[in-house]
Chains A and B, each alone.
Chain A
Amino acid sequence: MRTPAFLIVCLAIAAAVFGIAIAFGNDYVFFAGYVVLQYVVLSTAWNILGGYCGYVNFGTAAFFALGAYSTVAIYKFISDNDFPHIVPIPVLMLVGGVVSGIVGFGMGYLTLRLRGAFFSIATLALAVVLQTLVVNWDYVGGSRGAYVIRPEEIDPIGNYIRYLFLIMLLLSVAAIVIARLIERSRLGYGFATIRDDELAAEASGVPTLRLKLIATTISGVLMGMAGAPFPYYISYLQPDSTFGLDYAVNSIAMPLIGGTTTWVGPLIGAVLLGSLQQIATVTISSAVNLLIVGLLLVGFVIVAPNGIIGLVHHYWQRKPEDFVGRRHVDADVPGAVP
């Protein structure tokens, strides 16, 4: 399917999802759905670097937080100076994306000469450093946190949460279309060679460092964009809620459970795991979320190391060579298995 056609199909599905959510007649669906969609974006973004290039990033929360705190900083600036207008969310997302993309590029430049587990540790360090900075940055609330007042309504959609949901839905579509586009392009081939063998890639003429920088930047931009509307969603933002372990763990676990080789994997993983977590939160307890992730990960590593996609391929084609050799980084990604 060509990309324009794919985009139209995605938009149609998104419209249907939005319609169904409205049909529920309960705004809680939007609150829960927003989180799931947020994870669709985060895990798709993570997969561009982690799944396609094989570089495991533990710093998802840092990029997400950069987006969120860009919004807080702008919100503070606007309200301190008594500007009459609020900044539209799409503009905030662009700013968050740019900030996060620049940091992604910078982090990539500093750390991408490290391989495997060393790169992952460096990304973890980035998250810790950024959290320390934010905690000590009084302007955005420091460790006290910051309030961002969500408008009640917005024309013509109505309740503001529906608007946030719609925006995250569109960002999900954008992330998926970008991921799919990369997968089928020259860039995607280049990413695959980096995952397989960087020496051989260089020998074939692939500029590995440049490609890895492109991957970290795209991944960072998408994560930052996902974080930008978050302060409006949560209303009260504190460092712990954006730098939480959940984001790092979930955005790795979701692609691994779905399958890291294609854009479908993170989508399936995020919808499945994200929904499960939302259901568990209301029926059992919010603390059980990470336990679910842990158990599912262990289960999948044992039963389906190539994720749901690998499992489907296995039963669909029944020809192991056709899929076993294909893009199966999941099992040997260092640090991926808790």
Chain B
Amino acid sequence: MNGGMSAILQIDNLGKRFGGFVALEGISLSVAPGERLGLIGPNGSGKSTLVNCICGTLRNEQGEVHFDGKKVDGLDAHQRTHLGLARSFQLPRPFVSLSLIDNIRIPLLYTVAVRGKHHDDVEDHCHSLLRKVGLETKARQFPRALTQVEMRKLELARAMASEPKLLIADEAMAGLTHSEIEDILALLVRLNEQGVTVILIEHIMRAVMSFSRRLVVLVSGKKIADGAPDDVMRDPEVERAYLGQ
């Protein structure tokens, strides 16, 4: 066990199999409140599986996940969201029959309101969230009208709307232009400065390196490195995993 009781996310010896395939094995990870953590690894290394186990979309067979001092194994995904875990999906999953503003409204109705908090003007709050990701002008449109990049932004805005303590951004920047990446990064940094812990899963190394204060590397379902980004990138094992031998 690493980390203390103060960790917002504590993963101990987590394991997940799909039939005979071992997707994750012996993953232990402790994330402190307010951290900016980058999670990288080659395709198929188990990053998204790990996110799914943390968020309750998948059930881990082995190990335990504690969030904010509570054991969350066995809780449904929505219960974990209520506790303050939020995620964006790697492939955007908007609510296609709802307008953008209603997409944002869902976490407000079903998560923020459940915590007993009510915004004075929900409509206004939704608009300001959409403004943050640059989608305010399309508030009344439907996800179908969005580009892939805009859908990623919507995905992020919807995750932010649930007012999380920990936000996991699963490849929120794939396909974005240089300046769009800067916008999203600035957004995540601002969110982090407001006290939200952020785990960034990303292939775009420039983004990861500029955002992360700590870097974790997964390869073939195992954690091979965890530490300061520059140190991790110099790690011979990481170099081998990324560049080949």
Which residues of A pack against B, CB within 8 Å?
186, 189-190, 192-193, 195-197, 199-209, 261, 321-322, 324-329
> Chain B's nearest CB lies how many Å from the CB of A73?
38
A189 and B93 form a contact (CB under 8 A) = no
B57 and A203 form a contact (CB under 8 A) = yes
9 closest cross-chain pairs (CB), A and B: A205-B111, A325-B142, A202-B77, A325-B144, A327-B97, A200-B93, A205-B110, A205-B81, A196-B95
Residue B96, interface by CB 8 Å: yes
- Name the one of A197, A205, A324, A328 contacting B107, with C-beta atoms under 8 angstroms: A205
1/0 per residue, CB under 8 A from A, across B182-210: the answer is 00000000000000000000000000000
Residue B14, interface by CB 8 Å: no
B97 and A326 form a contact (CB under 8 A) = yes
Contact residues in B for A322 (Cβ distance below 8 Å): 142
- Name the one of A207, A261, A321, A327 contacting B78, with C-beta atoms under 8 angstroms: A207
Chain A, Cβ-Cβ closest to B158: A204
Residue B13, interface by CB 8 Å: no
Chain A, Cβ-Cβ closest to B93: A200
Chain B, Cβ-Cβ closest to A261: B97
Bound state CA distance, A217 and B57, in angstroms?
26
> Chain B's nearest CB lies how many Å from the CB of A9?
26
Residue B56, interface by CB 8 Å: yes
Contact residues in B for A189 (Cβ distance below 8 Å): 98, 102, 105-106, 109
- Name the one of B55, B95, B113 contacting A192, with C-beta atoms under 8 angstroms: B95
24 A-B pairs within 8 Å (CB atoms) are namely: A189-B102, A192-B95, A192-B97, A196-B98, A197-B94, A197-B95, A199-B77, A199-B89, A199-B93, A201-B78, A202-B57, A202-B78, A203-B77, A203-B159, A205-B111, A205-B114, A205-B162, A206-B78, A206-B106, A206-B110, A207-B76, A321-B144, A322-B142, A328-B97
**CB within 8 Å for A201 and B106 given contacts A193-B98, A208-B78:** yes
What total of A-B pairs shows CB separation below 8 Å?
Answer: 100
A199 and B97 form a contact (CB under 8 A) = no
Q: How many residues of B contact A (CB 8 A)?
A: 36
- Name the one of A202, A208, A325, A327 contacting B143, with C-beta atoms under 8 angstroms: A325
Contact residues in B for A199 (Cβ distance below 8 Å): 57, 77, 89, 93
Bound state CA distance, A125 and B220, in angstroms?
44
> Chain A's nearest CB lies how many Å from the CB of B14?
19
Task: Identify 18 new A-B residue pairs, CB closer than 8 A, beyond the known A197-B93, A204-B162.
Answer: A189-B102, A190-B106, A190-B109, A190-B110, A193-B98, A196-B97, A199-B57, A200-B89, A200-B93, A200-B158, A203-B89, A204-B78, A204-B158, A206-B106, A208-B78, A322-B142, A324-B144, A325-B96
**CB within 8 Å for A193 and B78 given contacts A200-B94, A204-B111, A324-B144:** no
> Chain A's nearest CB lies how many Å from the CB of B132?
17
Bound state CA distance, A201 and B93, in angstroms?
9
B95 and A193 form a contact (CB under 8 A) = yes
A321 and B142 form a contact (CB under 8 A) = yes
Contact residues in B for A324 (Cβ distance below 8 Å): 142, 144
1/0 per residue, CB under 8 A from A, across B165-196: the answer is 00000000000000000000000000000000
> Chain B's nearest CB lies how many Å from the CB of A4?
23
> Chain B's nearest CB lies how many Å from the CB of A14?
30
Interface residues of B in 137-162 (CB under 8 A from A): 141-145, 158-159, 161-162
Interface centre among A190, A202, A321, A329 (most CB of B within 10 A): A202
